Amino acid sequence: MRKQLSGTAAARGCALGRARMRLPHRLDIEATEIAASDIDAEIARFHAAVDTVRTEMRSLRDRLQGALTPELGEVVELHALLLDDPELLSGIDTLIRTGPYSADYALRLQRNRITAVFEAMDDAYLRSRIDDIDHIIERLHAALHSRKTLLPGVSGDILVTDSVAPAELAQLQAQGVVGVVTAGGSPLSHSTIMARSLHLPLVVGANQALLKAKDGDVLLMDGSSGLLILEPDAGDLRDHHERVAQSRQERRQLNRLRREPSRTLDGIDIKLWANAETRDDASEAHTLGAAGIGLFRSEFLFLGRSDLPDEETQFRAYRDVVLAMTGRTVTIRTLDLGADKADRSGLVVRQEANPALGLRGVRLSLTHAGLLRTQLRAIVRASGYGPVRVLVPMVSGLEEVRTVRAMLEASIAELRAEGREIAPKLPLGAMIEVPSAALALPTFIGLTDFLAIGSNDLVQYLLAADRTNEALDSLFTPLHPAVLRVLHEVIKAANRRGIPLTLCGEIAAEPTLVPLLLALGLSELSMHPSHLLEVRQAIRGCNLAGLRAAAPALLRARNRAGIERWVAAHRVQPD
C-alpha cells in the first residue's frame, strides 16, 4: 500500500529502489565471563580485530585521498586515530584481564564508559564525537566476528538507517546503493557534505521511515524535497521517470559548461576558484575551468603522521599543485589544525575544553614559529613554478597579520639570498572567519593583498551555533540577518580598498544562494570542484545589475523567513 513520508532534503537527486533496512545499532551484549586460561588468547583476538580495522581504515584513506571533500578526510583520519587511543585499547585489555570478560563484553563496557564521559561534557562539539566512537566500536565488533561492517550492498538498494558515517557513503555507492535515508542527521553534517560530493541522494530526519518501511519495500526518494514514497503507484513512477530524464538533461547541459565563462546575463564575469587539498583536486579544477585554487588546504600533509613534514616534503607537494594548475594562481592556506582535527604529531593541544575556541589556525602556527617559518619557506619556493598566494586562517586582528607578513618577507629575503628562483611578489591574504576580524578589518586591511571569507566558521561563531549539533539545525544558517550584514560590511570594506575578496565554504557551493551572494557584492567564489559547474550555471542565469538593485531589500529583511522569501523571488532560471 502506498505511503507518503517526509524528511529533510540533504543531497539533491532522486532514486528508486528496494529499501534495505539497517536498524539502529545497539551493542547489547550480555555479560560474558571467560576462563582465566583464555585471557591471553582473548586479548590477542581483540588486538587482531584492531589490526584488521586499522588495515580497513588505511585502505579507505588511500581510496578516498584526493577524491572527496577535506571534511571527510578529517573524519576518516579521526576514526583511524581512535584505534590508537590508549583510553580505549588499554581499558579493554584491563577489562578482559580483570573480569575476566570476553572481548565483546569488554568492548561494550568500555564504549559505555567513554560515551558517559562525553555525554557529561558541556561542549556540543565534543558530545557529537560519540558518533565517531560508535562507528569505530561497530567496526571492531564486526572484526571480532569476521563479518563486514556494512550490510552487503545490492545494486539498486536504498539504505534506510538511523545514521550513516561519511566514510560509509563511498563504500555504499561503490556497492551499488542508489540513495540513503536516515532517521537522524543534519543537512549540514559531514555525511551530507560527503553525499553531495558523491552526487548520492540523501534524506535525513526521516524518523517514520525506520518505523514504516520493511526490507524489500519499493522506495522512491527525492533528495531535493525530502519526499519519500513507499510502494509508489503508477503516477509516482511516471513522475519519477520524468524527473530522472530531466536530471540527465541538466547534467548534459552542465557538462557543456566546462569551457564556458562564468558570466552573468548582463556580461559581468564572476571568478570561480576551487578548494583543493591534493594534486588530483587541482587537476579536476583545471579540467572544469576554475580560475585557480582559491583555498589549498595544507593540513593533509600533517594529518596521519607522527612527525612533522619538513620543508622539502612541503615544497614538493605545493610545487606539484602549482604545476598542475599550469599558470593559474594557487592560494595556499597556512596550517589550520586544532584540537577539533585528527593529528598524530602531538602538535595540537588534546584536552582543550572548547576546541573551536582554542589554539588553532594562525594561533597554533605562531605558537610554533619554527613550524610556520618552515611552511612559509616551502610556499615561497613553490612560487618559482607558478603564481602563488599565501592565506592565513583564523585571523582575529592586526598583530597576527603583521607578524605573519614580517615572517613572509623574511623568508622571501632569505631564499633570494640563497639564489632560489621565486616569484617577484607573493600576495598575503587573511581569512575572515572570526567576528573580531570582520569588525577590526579596517585596522589591518592595509597589510593584506586579498581576503577570503570562511563562511562555515563565520556563521558558527556569529550565531554561537555548532553546525555539527543537530539540535541547532534551525539556528545554524547563513540566512540570518546578522550573517548577511557582516558579509555586506566585509565586502564593502574590501571593495572600497580594491582588495580582491573570495568567499569559501558551503554557501559558495549552493546554486540557490548565488543570487544572494552576488547581490551582496561578491564577485569571487571558491568551492569543491564537484560544485563548479552547477554554480557556473546559476551565475549564467543571473542579472547582476538587477540583483545589486535588489540588495537593499535583502538587507532590510528582519528574519530568516524574509531572507528566504527574497531568495525564492530571485531563484535562477538556468540558461
Which H/E stretch holds residue 410? helix 398-417
Is 199 a known active-site residue? no
Spatial contact of 225 and 12, defined as CB atoms under 8 Å apart: no
Among candidate residues 135, 480, 504, 528, the one labeled active-site is 504
490 dihedral zone (left: phi>0; alpha: psi -120 to 50; beta): alpha
Q: Is 504 helix (H, G, I), strand (E, B) or coil?
A: strand
* Cell numbers linked to 367: 605558537
Q: How far apart are CA 491 and CA 497, in angstroms?
A: 10
Peptide bond just before 100 cis, omega within 30 deg:
yes
Catalytic residue among 79, 135, 141, 190: 190
504 assigned to active site? yes
Q: How far apart are CA 398 and CA 420, in angstroms?
A: 30
Residues 339 and 127: their CA atoms lie apart, in Å, by 14
Which of 163, 256, 286, 160 lies closest to 216 in space, CA to CA?
A: 160
3-state SS assignment for residue 48: helix
Distance CA 379, CA 385 (A): 11
304 in Cβ contact with 84 (< 8 Å)? no
- Give 33's DSSP letter: B
Which residue stretches of 65-129 are H helix?
70-82, 86-98, 103-119, 124-128
CA 407 to chain centre: 30
What residues act catalytically? 190, 504
